[in-house]
């Protein structure tokens, strides 16, 4: 696994995680106007976005802890 870019600040990681959460909410909202098959695909992508956001939030916390 590659290491995350070291030039990203904790605020950068937070913004990336927030953007992924926003994307997840948008996918969920869109899922109401599609077929059941497509809804399952959107929900799977939404779950991946939210999971990645949680993982990235950890990078921001770790980077902030290292700077202290």
pLDDT tens digits, one per residue of 5-36:
678 888 999 999 999 999 999 999 999 999 99
4: confidence class by pLDDT, cuts 50, 70, 90: low
Neighbour count for residue 17 (Cβ, 10 Å): 21
Is residue 1 pLDDT above 70, yes or no? no
- List, in order, residues 6 or more apart from 51 with CB less than 8 Å away: none
State the average pLDDT over residues 30-49: 95
């Amino acid at each position: 696994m590659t290491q995350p870019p070291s030039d990203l600040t904790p605020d950068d990681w937070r913004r990336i995680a927030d953007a992924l959460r926003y994307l997840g909410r948008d996918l969920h909202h869109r899922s109401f106007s599609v077929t059941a098959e497509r809804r399952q695909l959107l929900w799977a992508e939404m779950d991946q976005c939210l999971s990645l956001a949680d993982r990235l939030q950890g990078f921001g916390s770790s980077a902030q802890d290292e700077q202290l």
